[in-house]
């Protein structure tokens, strides 16, 4: 994501979209997680992402969930994460952030 302009030092960054297609299409926005090249094992706030065709690998950071204007930032889909138990677990963690809290 990002207004890619290498001459100005603004580089394109990898981003794992977790919002639904219907939301993205209607709003023009995407909600997702920044991806870092560092990998740390057994961290519940990180999800290891690998997509060989797009040369994407690293950790999607649950604590860096951001919303971006896909059109204004010239977003581009470069790959897809395969369905897996780990991806389902990540989506559950994202959902848990927004669930209504139970009061005692």
pLDDT at 34: 93
pTM of the predicted structure, to 2 decimals:
0.80
Residue 29 lies in a domain: yes
Give me the residue label for tokens 């963690």. Answer: 93
- Does the residue 102 lie in any domain? no
pLDDT score, position 86? 86
The pLDDT, as a whole number, for residue 6 is 63
103 belongs to a structural domain: no
The answer to whether position 8 is within a domain reads yes
Put residue 42 in one of left, alpha, beta given phi > 0 → left and psi -120 to 50 → alpha. left
Walk across the sheet containing 29-36 and list its strands.
15-17, 29-36, 56-69, 46-51
Report the CATH number at residue 14.
Answer: 2.30.30.110
Q: Is residue 101 part of a domain?
A: no
Give the per-residue pLDDT at 103.
86
| 53 within domain boundaries | yes
87 found inside a domain: yes
Q: Give domain status of residue 86, yes or no.
A: yes
Give the residues of the chain that fall short of pLDDT 70: 1-6, 8-10
**Tokens 């896909």, residue located:** 70
Domain around 91: 4-96
Looking at the structure of the chain, the number of domains it has is: 1
């Amino acid at each position: 994501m990002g207004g890619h302009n290498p001459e100005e030092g603004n580089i394109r960054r990898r981003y794992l979209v977790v919002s639904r297609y219907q939301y993205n299409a209607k709003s023009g926005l995407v909600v997702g997680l920044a991806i870092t090249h560092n990998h740390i094992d057994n961290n519940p706030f990180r999800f290891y992402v690998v997509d060989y065709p797009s040369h994407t690998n690293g950790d999607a950071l649950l604590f860096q969930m951001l919303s971006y204007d896909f059109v204004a930032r010239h977003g581009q889909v470069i790959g897809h994460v395969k369905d897996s138990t780990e991806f389902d677990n990540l989506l559950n963690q994202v959902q848990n952030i927004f669930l209504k809290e139970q009061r005692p």
